[in-house]
Chains A and B, each alone.
Chain A
Amino acid sequence: MEHIRTTKVEQVKLLDRFSTSNKSLTGTLYLTATHLLFIDSHQKETWILHHHIASVEKLALTTSGCPLVIQCKNFRIVHFIVPRERDCHDIYNSLLQLSKQAKYEDLYAFSYNPKQNDSERLQGWQLIDLAEEYKRMGVPNSHWELSDANREYKICETYPRELYVPWTASKPIIVGSSKFRSKGRFPVLSYYHQDKKAAICRCSQPLSGFSARCVEDEHLLQAISKANPVNRYMYVVDTRPKLNAMANRAAGKGYENEDNYSSIRFQFVGIENIHVMRSSLQKLLEVNGTKGLSVNDFYSGLESSGWLRHIKAVMDAAIFLAKAIMVENASVLVHCSDGWDRTSQVCSLGSLLLDSYYRTIKGFMVLIDKDWISFGHKFSERCGHLDGDPKEVSPVFTQFLECVWHLTEQFPQAFEFNEAFLLQIHEHIHSCQFGNFLGNCQKEREELKLKEKTYSLWPFLLEDQKKYLNPLYSSKSHRFIVLEPNTVSFNFKFWRNMYHQFDRTLHPRQSVFNIIMNMNEQNKQLEKDIKDLESKIKQRKNKQTDDILTKELLHSFHPESPTLKTSLCFKEQTLLPVNDSLRTIEGSSPADNRYSDYAEEFSKSEPAVVSLEYGVARMTC
């Protein structure tokens, strides 16, 4: 609170980012402890969570006022013009401080209260149980067992307490191997394919330098390959470009030497590091932010940003994993440098390709919990939750979501969830509204007592499941149906709904998806009505033993029912779009219906109102 000097500024203008005609909305800007709120003259509210703010910029004073540009982590960019410079300065300073907190305890999650009691909250946290998940995969079994080596976080601080390893790997082997791996992240099980008896394992780079070797590590790898009864050979996939891995050798790290390990095949797949990814996204956003962008500039910008190339690299690596398991029946060990960025991407995408369970809503949550949260992807650092090192920020998880989106585009029937679900998750990794993504590893989360002080996102998403369902999903498919995406370059498209989520003018004006959803909804309602009516008829029949009376009743019912139905239909049509007004609350509640609001507006409102941005006639010669 002490950071807020001005809570309310009137007569603020909100500029349209892509408008060439300097159109603007006038309204009032409010600053609260958690949100920045703009209410325009149509009473439309725009909420921006402070944690979403990536940067605030005050531009040079103009005749109409002082411009303030706010860039958000969810790729929203707002451009305000504040009439008085002092107000602008106050807001600017407040936002600077509010958007960068120094302590975890100041984050929104610790003050957010969705009106649930303690037991409900606890239940929410227990919704996803990883032990259950490993059981579903079929471990522990005769080859894999639960190891208690890391029960007290003694061997590896960034791993979870419960780890699965080959049963032949004794504790001394694990300890020895962890000493030979960067940050102590020794090889453990990430996914077990029950049909093929092959496993995806993950670890960090070995501290091999130019010639060092470690007998325990070699034993552990051998144990992993022996745990696969079908194929004794295993792949070791280093997700880094070869050059980077070689450079690491000089620092005493590096990669496995095929000669020292029996029965491994070593492979580089060449995904770039977090710094390259960060600047790539930066370039992409710069290109997209340009007003009056030409097609050529867009594509050359897209090309030089390299973003889609990186996405393709991640996808290719995941496909390599899936193929190794499906075609060759071989286990795979994946690592990068520390084994929490690229390794998480590749392992999780690989399992998603292999196992249809992860393509359901619940399964996708489990996948994120397992491969990202529990294995120590540094969410807080990568998303910049706290005021920290900007060099640690990187869109690694965003890339993972984008890869999944590309898969949903190629396999529209294979996923239970839709694009809105992915966007909502992306929203919340930055929102700091729920405890799931706070902290950098499980140990840190326990120290923060997140389960006692904050809420879990997943139950809230499940509650709103309806919004995230893919109407085209066909659930009948077999569990082990493998997705084989085509990675020819032209299948990779720019994800407009992610990077221009808030720039309405760029989106199609009507959404097929929404219409299908509405139709589905209406069908369900009608089916329910039919059932209700049928049961009513039955009840009446039972009540009145008199036959003639029933007949009469039926007669009276029949002419009525069509009108009844149509009136119901009608009611629904008017009811459905009435979603509470036109609010675009961002991150204020998990039941955020921004996405559907948008589409509804597009399909409902007169397209004539939508302004034509680029085609705007400049009536000049």
Chain B
Amino acid sequence: MEFAELIKTPRVDNVVLHRPFYPAVEGTLCLTGHHLILSSRQDNTEELWLLHSNIDAIDKRFVGSLGTIIIKCKDFRIIQLDIPGMEECLNIASSIEALSTLDSITLMYPFFYRPMFEVIEDGWHSFLPEQEFELYSSASGEWRLSYVNKEFAVCPSYPPTVIVPKSIDDEALRKVATFRHGGRFPVLSYYHQKNGMVIMRSGQPLTGTNGRRCKEDEKLINATLRVGKRGYIIDTRSLNVAQQARAKGGGFEQEAHYPQWRRIHKSIERYHILQESLIKLVEACNDQTHNMDRWLSKLEASNWLTHIKEILTTACLAAQCIDREGASVLIHGTEGTDSTLQVTSLAQIILEPRSRTIRGFEALIEREWLQAGHPFQQRCAQSAYCNTKQKWEAPVFLLFLDCVWQILRQFPCSFEFNENFLIMLFEHAYASQFGTFLGNSESERCKLKLQQKTMSLWSWVNQPSELSKYTNPLFEANNLVIWPSVAPQSLPLWEGI
């Protein structure tokens, strides 16, 4: 398919661009295969380059022969284009619509993007699991790298290399995988250097209604406990939801079979509930006309901050188990690809000073989100303005970034990066010229040959000139565990977004 077929009118003159908080600009609108470009053709004014993949929804309106297209972006921007001429306007609108909803990943911009900068360090190789494991050198007595998932056969959403207890062999891992949702057997997520305690994550156990059990699974997670110690299992679903999951073959660990573990249920919402929450929030933010009461009640009705609080509380709980109680933790929800990752990664930000540096945070995202198989492609397909609701869209990653921002607000000097870094990550997760956030798992990324065909975001970000934009001037390394407050009074709304 050629992009040219989709572009009926590649150029329109005298288009007026309206953006909130900016003066209107008049200029020439051009459509290319991946961008919408508006330039006033004067030297000093900036041009608007908008990726089609950033477009969430468009509205058309006509007044006489003047057509107006309102473009709502995934990063919550809203821009308005006044286009003279009915036909041009219709053509442009239909082109945008077609181009912004391309089905095939390989037609996306990252596959066409040629970097204009010199690659100093290839981001695809910046954070290899082997290197990460070396950082846990003191853990090597009890843990090992396993290549059991080399061909993505054991678990399609895991990376080829995972860290597991040394005493468990690959054969046992295969067995455990059949007992966990999506084959996601428990793997190491974080090793706390201070006391050797760990965070593990997995999918839910497939106990079903008749209470299946798996000896290997029990052995695997028990292998992580010290003699006489107890561990905690944090289920990110409420007890009710977890019980209902049994009917579908899922379930939770029975006390009888896991006597050394205590189970704690937390309720972090998933999927469409989060998506609706975001839609309501953005709607409330965009309507500037309503009065104070309406704003507050809309903010409340969106429940966004409730979700934030719930996630932060759970992460604090996990961190507390590790640091205060000296107990290891296993975290899972249903699939173990959403709320689980929010909790494990936030707990690491609380516990581990390294993850509060720029590189450490990038490594965290690489390890805990990309390699751990958070389905970015599905979750970030649409944003707050889209009408066609798909079940699997959810601002899970955005919620995580918001939580990080909340901690950053409370500890403004403990992070090497600033707010802009988080916003940049948010924008790239939804629409980007880089391949980093494409695909749903490592195996999909392998099949797409992203490493060969696209650029990594990290290659670009880690250039010194770019890094300076994201550095926090007040950073002072803080080697301590940081405990955020999760009281509602301490959680404001993130205005940057």
Give the nearest-CB partner of B483 in chain A.
A612
User: Does B243 touch A at the CB level, under 8 Å?
Assistant: no
Contacts known (A295-B306, A496-B490); A615 close to B413, Cβ less than 8 A: no
User: Does B27 touch A at the CB level, under 8 Å?
Assistant: no
Give the nearest-CB partner of B294 in chain A.
A489
User: Does A575 touch B at the CB level, under 8 Å?
Assistant: no
Contacts known (A489-B292, A621-B239); A606 close to B483, Cβ less than 8 A: no
Which residues 584-618 in A have Cβ within 8 Å of B in the complex? 603, 606-608, 610-617
Bound form: Cα–Cα A144–B409 in Å: 51
The distance from the CB of A107 to the nearest CB of chain B, in whole angstroms, is 33
Give the nearest-CB partner of A621 in chain B.
B263
User: Does B297 touch A at the CB level, under 8 Å?
Assistant: yes
CB pair A505–B290 under 8 Å, yes or no, is: no
CB pair B293–A306 under 8 Å, yes or no, is: yes
CB pair B320–A612 under 8 Å, yes or no, is: yes
Give the nearest-CB partner of A487 in chain B.
B292
User: Does A294 touch B at the CB level, under 8 Å?
Assistant: yes
Residue in B265, B293, B321 whose CB lies within 8 Å of A303: B293
Residues of A within 8 A of B305 (CB): 295, 299
The distance from the CB of B242 to the nearest CB of chain A, in whole angstroms, is 11
CB pair A615–B297 under 8 Å, yes or no, is: no
Contacts known (A490-B493, A607-B481, A615-B316); A300 close to B297, Cβ less than 8 A: yes
Bound form: Cα–Cα A309–B295 in Å: 10
User: Does B196 touch A at the CB level, under 8 Å?
Assistant: no
Bound form: Cα–Cα A505–B232 in Å: 26
Give the nearest-CB partner of A300 in chain B.
B300
User: Does B63 touch A at the CB level, under 8 Å?
Assistant: no
CB pair A489–B290 under 8 Å, yes or no, is: yes
Bound form: Cα–Cα A606–B483 in Å: 10
Binary interface encoding of chain B residues 133-177 relative to chain A, with 1 for a CB under 8 A from any of its CBs, else 0: 000000000000000000000000000000000000000000000
Contacts known (A309-B293, A607-B481); A506 close to B313, Cβ less than 8 A: no
Bound form: Cα–Cα A619–B478 in Å: 29
User: Does A63 touch B at the CB level, under 8 Å?
Assistant: no
User: Does A247 touch B at the CB level, under 8 Å?
Assistant: no
User: Does B225 touch A at the CB level, under 8 Å?
Assistant: no
Please classify how large the interface on chain A is, using the bins under 10, 10 to 19, 20 to 34, 35 or more.
35 or more
Contacts known (A612-B485, A613-B486, A619-B262); A489 close to B291, Cβ less than 8 A: yes
Bound form: Cα–Cα A441–B297 in Å: 41
Residues of B within 8 A of A33 (CB): none
Residue in B317, B478, B480, B485 whose CB lies within 8 Å of A506: B485
User: Does B491 touch A at the CB level, under 8 Å?
Assistant: yes
CB pair B296–A308 under 8 Å, yes or no, is: yes
The distance from the CB of B408 to the nearest CB of chain A, in whole angstroms, is 10
User: Does B412 touch A at the CB level, under 8 Å?
Assistant: yes
Residues of B within 8 A of A135 (CB): none
Number of chain B residues close to chain A: CB under 8 A:
53
Which residues 297-317 in B have Cβ within 8 Å of A in the complex? 297, 299-300, 303, 305-306, 308-309, 312-313, 316-317
User: Does A248 touch B at the CB level, under 8 Å?
Assistant: no
Bound form: Cα–Cα A511–B320 in Å: 24
Contacts known (A508-B411, A610-B483); A295 close to B309, Cβ less than 8 A: yes
Which residues 519-577 in A have Cβ within 8 Å of B in the complex? none
User: Does B223 touch A at the CB level, under 8 Å?
Assistant: no
Residues of A within 8 A of B409 (CB): 508
CB pair A309–B291 under 8 Å, yes or no, is: yes
Residue in B300, B317, B411, B486 whose CB lies within 8 Å of A617: B317
Residues of A within 8 A of B325 (CB): 617
Binary interface encoding of chain A residues 487-514 relative to chain B, with 1 for a CB under 8 A from any of its CBs, else 0: 0111011101001100001111111100
Give the nearest-CB partner of A499 in chain B.
B489
CB pair B480–A509 under 8 Å, yes or no, is: no
Bound form: Cα–Cα A302–B492 in Å: 13
User: Does A481 touch B at the CB level, under 8 Å?
Assistant: no
Binary interface encoding of chain A residues 284-311 relative to chain B, with 1 for a CB under 8 A from any of its CBs, else 0: 0000100001111111101100101100
CB pair A509–B320 under 8 Å, yes or no, is: no
User: Does B355 touch A at the CB level, under 8 Å?
Assistant: no
User: Does B487 touch A at the CB level, under 8 Å?
Assistant: yes
Bound form: Cα–Cα A194–B137 in Å: 73
Give the nearest-CB partner of A297 in chain B.
B488
Which residues 165-216 in A have Cβ within 8 Å of B in the complex? none
Binary interface encoding of chain B residues 315-336 relative to chain A, with 1 for a CB under 8 A from any of its CBs, else 0: 0110011000100000000000
Residue in A306, A506, A509, A608 whose CB lies within 8 Å of B411: A509
Residues of A within 8 A of B91 (CB): none
13 pairs, CB–CB < 8 Å, chain A vs chain B:
A295-B305, A299-B299, A300-B300, A303-B293, A309-B292, A489-B296, A490-B493, A499-B489, A507-B490, A509-B482, A515-B413, A612-B320, A612-B485
Can you add 18 more A-B contacts, CB < 8 Å, to A608-B483, A614-B485, A614-B487? A295-B303, A299-B297, A300-B297, A303-B292, A488-B288, A492-B292, A496-B489, A496-B490, A507-B485, A507-B490, A508-B411, A508-B490, A509-B410, A512-B413, A613-B486, A615-B313, A617-B317, A621-B262
Give B residues with C-beta under 8 Å from A: 232, 239, 262-265, 285, 288, 290-297, 299-300, 303, 305-306, 308-309, 312-313, 316-317, 320-321, 325, 409-414, 474, 478, 480-493, 495
The 3 closest A-B pairs by CB, nearest first: A615-B316, A489-B295, A299-B300
